[in-house]
């Protein structure tokens, strides 16, 4: 059975690129906002979440704080997939519970390797 990955990013271009890379190996669901993700989480728990940081309404740091504060979702591995690649954002994201940090634009192989590493 394929593992399920949520990709949350306000850019439909980024969602399409990541989905294209991952859909051969995983069940992928794309969402353009945290609100969409939290609504779907009420019905389906993914094996992993790829999360952008710079989003309107609720940024990725706020999303992961809310996610990790809920015992039903606290164990879902989160990888930040973001253009905010400075050491402050990476360190802060990992302190909040992210398992990894992938810079955009990403290479297909790096994305696949890091996801596989955290799911196995």
pLDDT in tens for each of the 120 residues of the chain?
899 999 999 999 999 999 999 999 999 999 999 999 999 999 999 999 999 999 999 999 999 999 999 999 999 999 999 988 889 999 999 999 999 999 998 999 999 999 999 998
Q: Domain map of the chain by residue range? A: 21-101
Handedness of CA 51, 52, 58, 62 (dihedral sign): positive
Give the integer Cα–Cα distance in Å for 120 and 114.
10
Q: What pTM, to 2 d.p., does this model score?
A: 0.96
Domain 21-101: which CATH number of 3.30.1490.20, 3.40.50.10330, 3.40.50.2300, 1.10.274.10: 3.40.50.2300
Structure tokens at 105: 């634009």
Beta bridge partners of 89: none
Within 10 angstroms of residue 16's Cβ, the number of other Cβ atoms is 13
Placement of tokens 């940081």 in the chain: 53
Would you state the pLDDT for residue 38? 97
Name the E strands within the chain: 4-8, 27-31, 48-51, 78-82, 100-103
Would you state the pLDDT for residue 10? 95
3-class SS of residue 24: coil
Would you state the pLDDT for residue 30? 98
Would you state the pLDDT for residue 67? 97
């Amino acid at each position: 059975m394929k593992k399920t990955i949520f990709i949350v990013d306000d850019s439909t271009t980024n969602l399409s690129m990541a989905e294209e890379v991952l859909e051969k190996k995983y069940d992928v669901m794309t969402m353009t906002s945290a609100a969409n993700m939290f609504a779907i989480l009420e019905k389906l728990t993914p094996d992993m979440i790829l999360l952008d940081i710079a989003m309107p309404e609720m940024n990725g740091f706020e999303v992961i704080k809310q996610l990790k504060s809920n015992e039903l979702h606290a164990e879902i591995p989160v990888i930040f997939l973001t253009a905010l690649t400075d050491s402050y954002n990476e360190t802060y994201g990992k302190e909040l519970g992210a398992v990894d940090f992938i810079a955009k634009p990403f290479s297909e192989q790096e994305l696949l390797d890091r996801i596989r590493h955290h799911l196995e």
